[in-house]
């Protein structure tokens, strides 16, 4: 393994995914963090914002506008900013502007853009801004026109186990949403193998509260989350088109899914029970065999044996995705249960996995820690 240090910046370091990026990056033998940004918390030391990270050697948090791009020579930037903000900032970075928030840039051809940014800073974006390949779909679900449509065209969808070859060559990687990560890792191989039909897929998803980010919101207060649970964004969550985009590619024709997220009283973790229709003559055991074979050599995706039930506790703090397959009492149907840690495989961990690929490092570098239990 190379001992070269790659200089990186972390945008949005005072958020939940930013904190986990720093936690992981500081143990990564090839990462040197040269700047870390915040918005409201700019000017503070990391230890003041996250006492648990206080012993790590990370520069104080600065505003994005105060990054001195000319003198720092970063090779990669992790962008853990809110949607819509991210696309403006990434546009500034990849077009080589000397400041980050650029509003007026000429939209050029995707090939021109790709060649003009080659060899500059590589960006690993954790937000939703570059995930949807179709600009009309983006505008429909995010309620605005995209600020960097030319970059959206060159972004690679960062679901590592599926798009590994493209990620290796990418300049801009759009890490998937946390809900799509677990759903797609479960379903894409099954559609590829044609063992499920793609009709009537139901994704019943639950997330810990950290999935909503650190900015205080009334509905995420302890008083309103503890000892209860609720569904939200019913039949209207923006991760549905993201999941449909990728499943439709696998199926070879467009499909719709039923996707219902729920907020459950835990800090981290995501748990999805997925109901599928089997192709003729196929059993739940066949689905398990397909997934087991597909992920046999994957370091982070674990298909459990028949009868074992995945639990969010079995992946907490790790980059793992655990998948189980079950028979349904209704003939012709089966269930898949998939669980990840939303802050690791669902965001920061997958971002580092993609970074490793983009820089030719072993994919597991910095990500080998086992889950925390209980
Ligand atoms: N939480 C999760 O499980 C997942 C999150 N994501 C995505 O990752 C991104 C980060 O999420 P998360 O860490 O949860 O979010 P947080 O709300 O916890 O953190 C957001 C970060 O962005 C900074 N920030 C906010 N507004 C601005 C602005 N206008 N300009 C510059 N910086 C700004 C904040 O700074 P400050 O705190 O100082 O104001 C903070 O550092 C989001 O796009 C999110 O959707 C993706 C997958 C999973
Ligand atoms: C619990 C919760 O609120 N979760 C977030 C999803 C977090 C995520 O994956 O990310 P993106 O915001 O990057 O798409 C939500 O439902 O919007």
Chain segment 13-54, per-residue pLDDT in tens: 999 999 999 999 999 999 999 999 999 999 999 999 999 999
| The predicted structure's pLDDT at residue 99 | 41
Residue 70: pLDDT above 70? yes
Q: Does this complex have an ipTM over 0.85?
A: yes
* Ligand 1 atom with minimal separation from the 41 CA: 38
| The predicted structure's pLDDT at residue 96 | 72
Residue 117 tokens, joined: 């940014």
Q: Tens digit of pLDDT for each residue in 127-178?
A: 999 999 999 999 999 999 999 999 999 999 999 999 999 999 999 999 999 9
Share of the chain above pLDDT 70, in %: 93
Residue 108: pLDDT above 60? no
* Ligand 2 atom with minimal separation from the 342 CA: 9
Looking at the fold, whether 117 and 15 belong to one and the same domain comes out as: yes
In a domain, residue 368? The reply is no
Residue 295: pLDDT above 90? yes
Looking at the fold, whether 63 and 191 belong to one and the same domain comes out as: no
CATH number of 246's domain: 3.30.360.10
Ligand nearest to the backbone CA of 15: 1
> What's the domain count of the chain?
2
Q: Can you tell me the mean pLDDT for 236-255?
A: 98
Q: Which residues line ligand 2 (CB under 6 A)?
A: 127-128, 177-179, 207, 211-212, 261, 263
Distance 116 CA to ligand 2 centre (A): 32
Active site residues: 178
Residue 121: pLDDT above 80? yes
Looking at the fold, whether 48 and 125 belong to one and the same domain comes out as: yes
Looking at the fold, whether 82 and 228 belong to one and the same domain comes out as: no
Looking at the fold, whether 44 and 104 belong to one and the same domain comes out as: yes
Please return the burial class of 318, using the count of CB atoms within 10 Å of its CB with bins 0-12, 13-18 and 19+.
buried
Looking at the fold, whether 121 and 183 belong to one and the same domain comes out as: no
Q: Can you tell me the mean pLDDT for 300-318?
A: 98
Q: Is 41 in the pocket of ligand 1 (CB under 6 A)?
A: yes
Looking at the fold, whether 99 and 190 belong to one and the same domain comes out as: no
Distance 357 CA to ligand 2 centre (A): 25
Ligand nearest to the backbone CA of 39: 1
pLDDT, the chain, mean: 93
Q: Can you tell me the mean pLDDT for 98-115?
A: 50
Q: How confident is the model at residue 97 (pLDDT cuts 50, 70, 90)?
A: low
Looking at the fold, whether 133 and 193 belong to one and the same domain comes out as: no
Q: Is 83 in the pocket of ligand 1 (CB under 6 A)?
A: yes
Q: Can you tell me the mean pLDDT for 314-341?
A: 98
| The predicted structure's pLDDT at residue 120 | 78
Ligand 1 atom 45: residue of nearest CA: 127
The pTM score is 0.95
| Full residue range of the structural domain in which residue 230 is found | 179-342
Distance 16 CA to ligand 1 centre (A): 7
Distance 18 CA to ligand 2 centre (A): 15
CATH number of 65's domain: 3.40.50.720
Looking at the fold, whether 106 and 233 belong to one and the same domain comes out as: no
Q: Tens digit of pLDDT for each residue in 172-229?
A: 999 999 999 999 999 999 999 999 999 999 999 999 999 999 986 888 899 999 999 9
In a domain, residue 226? The reply is yes
| The predicted structure's pLDDT at residue 114 | 61
Ligand 2 atom 17: residue of nearest CA: 212
Q: Can you tell me the mean pLDDT for 111-134?
A: 83
Query: Would you say 140 and 245 are in contact if contact means Cβ atoms under 8 Å apart?
Result: no
In a domain, residue 191? The reply is yes
Residue 56: pLDDT above 80? yes
Q: Can you tell me the mean pLDDT for 98-106?
A: 43
| The predicted structure's pLDDT at residue 104 | 45
| The predicted structure's pLDDT at residue 98 | 42
Looking at the fold, whether 143 and 192 belong to one and the same domain comes out as: no
In a domain, residue 370? The reply is no
Residue 100: pLDDT above 70? no
Residue 1: pLDDT above 70? no
């Amino acid at each position: 393994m190379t001992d070269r240090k790659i200089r990186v910046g972390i945008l949005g370091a005072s958020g939940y995914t930013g904190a986990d990026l720093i936690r992981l990056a500081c143990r990564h033998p090839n990462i040197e963090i040269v700047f870390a940004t915040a918005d409201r918390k700019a000017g503070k030391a990391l230890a003041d914002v996250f006492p648990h990270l206080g012993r790590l050697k990370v520069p104080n948090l600065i505003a994005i506008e105060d990054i001195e791009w000319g003198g720092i020579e970063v090779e990669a930037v992790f962008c853990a900013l809110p949607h819509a903000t991210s696309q403006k900032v990434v546009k500034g970075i990849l077009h080589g502007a000397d400041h980050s928030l650029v509003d007026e840039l000429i939209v050029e051809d995707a090939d021109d853009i790709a060649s003009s940014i080659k060899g500059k800073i590589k960006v690993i974006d954790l937000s939703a801004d570059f995930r949807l390949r179709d600009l009309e779909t983006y505008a429909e679900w995010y309620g605005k026109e995209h600020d960097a449509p030319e970059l959206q065209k060159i972004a690679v969808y960062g679901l590592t186990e599926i798009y590994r070859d493209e990620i290796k060559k990418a300049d801009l990687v759009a890490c998937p949403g946390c809900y799509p990560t677990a759903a797609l890792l479960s379903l894409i191989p099954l559609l590829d193998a044609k063992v499920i039909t793609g009709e009537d897929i139901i994704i019943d998803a639950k997330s810990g509260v950290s999935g909503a980010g650190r900015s205080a919101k009334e509905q995420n207060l302890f008083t309103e989350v503890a000892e209860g649970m609720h569904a939200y964004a019913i039949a209207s969550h923006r991760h549905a088109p993201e999941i449909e985009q990728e499943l439709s590619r696998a199926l070879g024709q467009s499909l719709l899914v039923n996707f219902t997220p729920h907020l459950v009283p835990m800090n981290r973790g995501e748990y999805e029970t997925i109901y599928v229709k089997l192709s003729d003559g196929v059993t739940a055991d066949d689905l398990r065999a397909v997934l087991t074979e597909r992920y046999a050599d994957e370091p982070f995706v674990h298909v459990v044996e028949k009868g074992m039930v995945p639990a969010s506790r079995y992946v907490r703090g790790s980059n793992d995705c655990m998948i189980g397959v079950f028979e349904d009492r209704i003939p012709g149907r089966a269930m898949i249960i998939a669980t990840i840690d939303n802050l690791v495989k669902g965001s920061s961990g997958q971002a580092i996995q993609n970074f490793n690929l983009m820089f030719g490092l072993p994919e597991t570098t910095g990500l080998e820690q086992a889950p925390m239990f209980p």
